[in-house]
Amino acid sequence: MRGASETAWRRRATAGGGGEEAEKKVMTETTGSREGHGGAVAAVKRVVVFFGLVASGKSTLAKLWADRHGFPYANSDVVRKGLAGSPGATRGLGLGEGIYSAEFTRRTYDALAGFAVAQLAWSPTVVLDGSYHRREERDRLRQALSSQATVLFVLCHCGEAAVKARLAIRAIDPDAVSDGDWRVYLRQRECFEAPTELSEGTFFTLCSEEPPQQLARRLDQLLGSDEGAGAGEKAASPRGRADVNS
């Protein structure tokens, strides 16, 4: 993630003083035009994408927020391993190698888009969780969903000390699915393409070093929960999970 471009998009994401109020302003600009049509966001289908580098906290926050409201949730690591037929971790592979090749990564993100389309049939909001560190990946998703939903991006980030601590815990976790390690983190950081293509109102940033429950409450304030819009449908529909071969 190169300094100049990172500074530009971060300044744009937190314009107006930064912090929670600036983030809320950004999201209000996205959803405000829907007021008068059943609520600020309830009448609009949404796909909320949590993205960022390895160990940025995106998966913890994405799953927590999805579970908090019963939204369908898909994780790129689970989908990738499902497509490969290898549900466990396969550490040692770098970006561009094996199941992380450009071709396989495209298959993975296409499957995530397909999951979102299917779940939007009954849920007002779908949550996706992946690195999406290249503009082409984000553009492809937005194009695939352009007639289905509004796509919002939540960029999660944290300091290197937090990254190292999380990776150390992950390395000894037998249930960990992600193959990310320090080497992958450094490579992703080098290759990360800042989301300068995203207009104000379609993305915001969150530092994941705050307590997860506190961050989840902030997301509720910024995005709304859509619980009213989907309550009847959720009662009659199975919970969407991308944890099978699909």
pLDDT of the residue at 204: 83
Using the predicted structure, report yes or no on whether residue 38 has a pLDDT greater than 90: no
The distance of Cα 28 from the centroid of its chain, to the nearest Å, equals: 19
- pLDDT-wise least confident of 145-149, 206-210, 231-235: 231-235
The single-letter code of the amino acid at 111 is: A
Say yes or no to pLDDT of 12 above 50.
Answer: no
Structure confidence by residue, pLDDT tens digits, 153-181: 999 999 999 999 999 999 999 888 888 89
Closest-CA residue to 219 (of 60, 83, 93)? 60
Q: What is the pTM of this model?
A: 0.75
**Residue 143 to residue 41: CA distance in whole angstroms:** 21
**For residue 174, what pLDDT is reported?**
86
Ranges of each domain in the chain? 3-31+43-225
The pLDDT of residue 225: 63
Residue 237 is predicted with a pLDDT of 35
Superfamily assignment of 3-31+43-225 in CATH? P-loop containing nucleotide triphosphate hydrolases (3.40.50.300)
Alpha-carbon dihedral sign for residues 180, 84, 244, 114: positive
Q: Find, among 116, 48, 73, 69, the residue nearest to 227 by Cα.
A: 69
Token pair recorded at residue 16: 């107006």
Q: For residue 136, is pLDDT > 50?
A: yes
Q: Which two tokens stand for residue 168?
A: 């150390």
How many CB atoms within 10 Å of residue 37? 10
